[in-house]
């Protein structure tokens, strides 16, 4: 090749690189398709670019001016995290690596790494980052020797034990050999199924970022699913990065299925530097409803102090504070900073909690799909049955347990919370007075029983207050409102009727605290 031809080739390469850089850093008009990708499911959620940049803004920006900083996304889907990091590095390394082609080659080959969650998302992520489905293509921004570049997808197997994966809890019936025969993804994510994740790239990562898969069907009843995001967080920590930032569901705040251990680890880890809380999922993922909301955090390996906790509502910050994730006397994480102050005031009274008045699931032993009832009362079916849909009548012989409750006053309240998670929220559906001669299916929990109709009515009135439902909200992280969720609600003297003003005065809530409750809890 002549010197002149070589000079022309270098000019062409620089022109291509310049055009690419202008496009990705916003110097030319280039509508961002990643901002309007549809989510695959509630388990595989594409992260909007603006949310990614909020997360990256929390990192020390000097990381993007250091040519030695390495980044890993262990759950690549659209490739948006790596693309947004690339844009910052392209700008940040201008002085360190002035030549644009050399700078791009260095960034893509030595600083950015990803592990895709499926073969499809590996292609999408490569197209996003390298501008080509193949990293070794002539159209690729970086010149790799392999088609995958630094974004890999290597099929991995589950470790089946008793019909479930010992690593992630996936159901063998759904993700085992049958899935392979039908050419489906088995969702055995390499990052969490690899015994030694540091061997995947043999690179020491400074920053791990991402939005991991949230859950997988575990073969239990009623489309039961096991959480996955906790396993990505813990596996990422094993790599000992300097910084870790991920966006995950907020259900871990209260623990629950498969999350109690993870919650305890999280609230006792003082390396969490920031936590951004979004009770309404649509503030991060428009059109998506993940019950309990979402959060993203910044974990700093050198941090050993309180956490900066920021509560978001829409586009505004409604409150922020510096405090420990582990509040003394609380086994859960309380998401709202103002709520901590309210809870402390309530707990100074050292009252019994409402929890002991709440039944467990299936208070009479009848499942939601119980069918042995009639729509009208008969000589045999005299007990009025509250159930999902139209109420009916059932025989006392059909009642499996708690027969004595049938002829007592009680309150029925739906086990599932109403509507979406946007605020102000009802939190709880309207309680129903259960007269003597009534029972319910699993659709409801039972409050009581009570010795008189007056006590049942006063209990129902108390449950309708904003104060009651706010205290309930402190432990509510999913659609289901279990007995345990009532743990922070103080019991009252139910021989008298209660309203919000009486309760606010009793516990000494100031104007700001009262108004804060109103912003979260709608009048019932």
- Count the helices and strands in the chain (H runs, E runs): 15, 19
Q: How far apart are CA 513 and CA 187, in angstroms?
A: 45
User: Cβ–Cβ contacts within 10 Å for residue 320, how many?
Assistant: 14
pLDDT tens string, the chain, 524 residues long: the values are 555 554 454 455 445 455 555 555 555 445 555 554 545 544 567 899 999 999 999 999 999 999 999 999 999 999 999 999 999 999 999 999 999 999 999 999 999 999 999 999 999 999 999 999 999 999 999 889 999 999 999 999 999 999 999 999 998 888 888 766 666 788 899 999 998 999 999 999 999 999 999 988 766 555 567 899 999 999 999 999 999 999 999 999 988 778 999 999 999 999 999 999 998 899 999 888 888 899 999 999 999 999 999 999 888 998 899 999 998 878 889 999 999 999 999 999 999 999 999 999 999 999 999 999 999 999 999 999 999 988 999 999 999 999 999 999 999 999 988 866 667 889 999 999 999 999 999 999 999 999 999 999 999 999 999 999 999 999 887 778 889 999 999 999 999 999 999 999 999 999 999 999 999 899 98
Q: How far apart are CA 35 and CA 452, in angstroms?
A: 58
User: Do residues 408 and 359 touch, judged by C-beta distance below 8 A?
Assistant: no
User: Do residues 490 and 349 touch, judged by C-beta distance below 8 A?
Assistant: yes
| C-alpha triplet 14, 61, 336: angle, nearest 5° | 135
Distance of alpha carbon 365 from the chain centroid: 32
Pairing of strands 307-313, 316-323: antiparallel
What's the predicted TM-score (pTM) here?
0.83
Distance of alpha carbon 57 from the chain centroid: 21
Q: How far apart are CA 244 and CA 299, in angstroms?
A: 5
Q: What is the pLDDT of residue 25?
A: 52
Q: How far is CA 49 from CA 30, 111, 131, 138, in A?
A: 14, 20, 17, 27
Please give the structure tokens belonging to residue 388.
């999902």
Which of 115, 112, 116 is CA-nearest to residue 130?
A: 112
Pairing of strands 307-313, 444-450: unpaired
User: Cβ–Cβ contacts within 10 Å for residue 328, how many?
Assistant: 6
Q: What is the pLDDT of residue 16?
A: 47
Q: How far is CA 456 from CA 392, 417, 431, 482, in A?
A: 22, 21, 10, 20
**What is the domain partition of the chain in residue ranges?**
35-335, 352-520
Q: How far apart are CA 516 and CA 523, in angstroms?
A: 13
* Percentages of the chain per state (helix, strand, coil), in multiples of 5: 35, 20, 45
Which of 235, 260, 253, 278 is CA-nearest to residue 55?
A: 278
Which of 294, 349, 220 is CA-nearest to residue 42?
A: 294
User: Do residues 401 and 441 touch, judged by C-beta distance below 8 A?
Assistant: no
| 35-335 CATH choice from 3.10.20.590, 3.40.1110.10, 3.90.226.10, 3.40.50.150 | 3.40.50.150
Please give the structure tokens belonging to residue 102.
């050399």
Q: What is the pLDDT of residue 28?
A: 44
Q: What is the DSSP letter of 94?
A: T
User: Cβ–Cβ contacts within 10 Å for residue 267, how many?
Assistant: 22
SS3 state at 401: coil
User: Do residues 141 and 131 touch, judged by C-beta distance below 8 A?
Assistant: yes
């Amino acid at each position: 090749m002549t010197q002149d031809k070589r000079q022309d080739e270098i000019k062409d390469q620089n022109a291509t690189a310049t055009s690419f850089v202008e496009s990705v850093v916003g110097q030319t008009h280039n509508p961002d398709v990643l901002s309007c990708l549809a989510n695959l499911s509630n388990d595989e959620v594409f992260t909007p670019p603006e949310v990614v940049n909020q997360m990256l803004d929390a990192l020390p920006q000097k990381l993007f001016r250091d040519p030695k900083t390495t980044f890993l996304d262990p759950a690549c889907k659209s490739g948006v995290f790596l693309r947004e990091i690339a844009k910052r590095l392209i700008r940040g390394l201008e002085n360190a690596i002035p030549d644009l082609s050399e700078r791009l080659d260095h960034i893509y080959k030595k600083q950015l790494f990803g592990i895709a969650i499926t073969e499809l998302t590996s292609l999408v992520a490569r197209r996003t980052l390298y501008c080509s489905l193949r990293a070794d293509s002539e159209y690729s921004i970086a010149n790799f020797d392999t088609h995958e570049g630094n974004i890999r997808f290597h099929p991995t197997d589950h470790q089946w034990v008793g019909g479930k994966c010992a690593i992630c809890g996936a159901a063998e019936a759904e993700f085992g050999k049958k899935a392979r025969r039908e050419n489906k993804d088995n969702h055995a994510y390499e990052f969490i199924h690899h015994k030694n994740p540091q061997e995947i790239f043999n690179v020491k990562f400074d920053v791990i970022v991402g939005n991991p898969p949230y859950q997988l069907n575990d073969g239990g009843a009623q489309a039961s699913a096991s959480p996955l995001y906790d396993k990505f967080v813990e596996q990422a920590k094993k790599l000992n990065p300097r910084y870790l930032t991920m966006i995950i569901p907020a259900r871990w705040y209260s623990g629950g299925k498969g999350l109690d251990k993870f919650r305890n680890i999280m609230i006792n880890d003082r390396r969490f530097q920031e936590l951004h809380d979004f009770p309404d999922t649509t503030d991060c993922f428009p059109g998506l409803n993940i019950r309990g909301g979402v959060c993203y955090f910044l974990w700093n390996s050198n941090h050993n102090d309180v956490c900066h906790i920021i509560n978001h509502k829409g586009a505004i910050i409604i409150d922020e504070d510096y405090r420990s994730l582990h509040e003394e006397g609380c086994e859960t994480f309380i998401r709202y900073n103002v709520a901590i102050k309210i809870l402390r005031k309530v707990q100074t009274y050292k009252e019994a909690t409402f929890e002991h008045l709440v039944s467990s699931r299936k208070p009479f032993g009848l499942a939601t799909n119980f069918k042995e009832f009639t729509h009208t009362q008969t000589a045999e079916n005299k007990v009025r049955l509250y159930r999902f849909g139209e109420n009916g009548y059932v025989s006392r012989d059909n009642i499996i347990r708690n027969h004595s409750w049938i002829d007592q006053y009680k309150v029925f309240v739906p086990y599932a919370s109403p509507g979406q998670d946007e605020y102000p929220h009802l939190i709880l559906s309207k309680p129903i007075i259960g007269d003597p001669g009534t029972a319910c299916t699993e659709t409801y929990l039972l409050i009581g029983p009570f010795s008189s109709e007056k006590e049942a009515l006063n209990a129902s009135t108390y449950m309708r207050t904003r104060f009651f439902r706010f205290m309930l909200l402190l432990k509510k992280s999913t659609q289901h409102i279990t007995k345990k969720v009532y743990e922070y609600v103080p019991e009252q003297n139910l021989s008298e009727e209660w309203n919000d003003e009486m309760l606010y005065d009793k516990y000494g809530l100031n104007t700001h605290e009262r108004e804060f409750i109103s912003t979260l809890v709608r009048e019932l």
